[in-house]
Amino acid sequence: MHVHILGICGTFMGGIALLARANGHKVTGQDANVYPPMSTQLEEQGIELIQGFDSNAIKQLSPDVVVIGNALSRGNSAVEYVLEQNIPYTSGAQWLAENVLYDRWVLAVAGTHGKTTTSGMLSWILEYAGLNPGFLIGGVPENFGVSARNGDMPFFVVEADEYDTAFFDKRSKFVHYHPRTVILNNLEFDHADIFEDLGAIKKQFHHLIRTVPGNGLLIFPEEDRSLQDVINMGCWSEKEYFSESDNSIGWSIKLLTDSEVESDVSISADGSHFEVFWKNESQGIVHWDLLGMHNVNNAVVAIAAARHAGVPVKYAIEALADYKNVKRRMEIKGKVNDVTVYDDFAHHPTAIATTIDGLRRKIGDKQRIIAILEPRSNTMKMQIHNTTLPASLEQADEVFVFLPDDYATKFTDMLELLGQRGHGYNDIEKMTKAILAETRTTDHLLVMSNGGFGGIHQMLLDGLQHKK
Residue pLDDT, tens place only, 140-160: 888 898 889 999 989 999 999
Which stretch of DSSP H or E encloses residue 402?
Answer: strand 398-402
Amino acid identity at 157: V
3-state SS string for 163-194: CEEECCEEEEHHHHCCCCEEEECCCCCCCCCC
Angstrom distances, CA of residue 352 to CA of 295, 370, 456: 13, 13, 18
User: For residues 351 and 380, is the Cβ–Cβ distance under 8 A?
Assistant: no
Cβ count near 153 (within 10 Å): 13
Q: Domain spans of the chain?
A: 2-92, 103-321, 331-467
What superfamily in CATH does domain 331-467 come from? Mur ligase, C-terminal domain (3.90.190.20)
Q: How confident is the model at residue 78 (pLDDT cuts 50, 70, 90)?
A: very high
- CA dist 345 and 350 (Å) reads 12
pLDDT at residue 261 is higher than 70: no
**Over 50: is that where the pLDDT of 6 sits?**
yes
Q: What is the predicted pLDDT for the residue at 229? A: 96
Q: Are 2-92 and 103-321 the same fold in CATH?
A: no
Q: How confident is the model at residue 267 (pLDDT cuts 50, 70, 90)?
A: very low
For 403-446, the pLDDT digits (tens) are: 877 666 667 777 777 888 888 888 889 999 999 999 999 999 99
Residue 326 contacts residue 120 (beta carbons within 8 Å)? yes
pLDDT of residue 264: 42
pLDDT digits (tens, 9 = 90+) for 10-52: 889 999 999 999 999 999 999 987 666 677 778 888 888 898 9
Q: For the chain, give me the number of helices (H) and strands (E)?
A: 16, 23
Query: What pLDDT does 403 receive?
Result: 83
Alpha helices for 23-114 (secondary structure H): 38-44, 55-61, 77-84, 92-96
Q: What pLDDT score does 188 carry?
A: 84
Q: Give ∠ CA 184-185-186 in degrees, rounded to 5.
A: 100
Quick one: fold of 103-321? Answer: UDP-N-acetylmuramoyl-L-alanine:D-glutamate ligase (3.40.1190)
Q: Nearest CA to 84 among 49, 59, 108?
A: 59
CATH fold of 2-92 reads Rossmann fold (3.40.50)
Question: 200: how many CB neighbours lie within 10 A of its CB?
Answer: 12
Q: What residue type is assigned to position 423 of the chain?
A: H
> What average pLDDT does this structure show over 60-66?
96
Mean pLDDT of the chain: 88
Q: Would the CA dihedral through 316, 318, 321, 324 be positive or negative?
A: negative
pLDDT band at 387 (very low <50, low <70, confident <90, very high): low
Residues 204-209, mean pLDDT to the nearest whole number: 96
Query: How far is residue 107 from each of residues 88, 119, 161, 174, 452, measured CA to CA in Å?
Result: 29, 9, 13, 11, 29
Asked if 205 and 187 touch (Cβ cutoff 8 Å), the reply is yes
Query: To the nearest whole percent, how much of the chain has pLDDT over 90?
Result: 56
pTM for this structure?
0.78
Q: State the helix-helix crossing angle for 115-128 and 313-321, rounded to 10 degrees.
A: 110
Tell me, what's the pLDDT at 263?
Answer: 46
Residues 226/198, Cβ–Cβ less than 8 Å: yes
Res. 265: pLDDT tops 70: no
The residues, any chain, with a CB within 8 Å of residue 56's CB and separated by 6 or more, are none
Ranked by mean pLDDT, which of 37-41, 110-114, 314-318, 350-354 comes out on top?
A: 314-318
Examine the pLDDT at 259 and tell me if it is beyond 90: no
- Grouping H, G, I as helix, E, B as strand and the rest as coil, residue 209 is helix
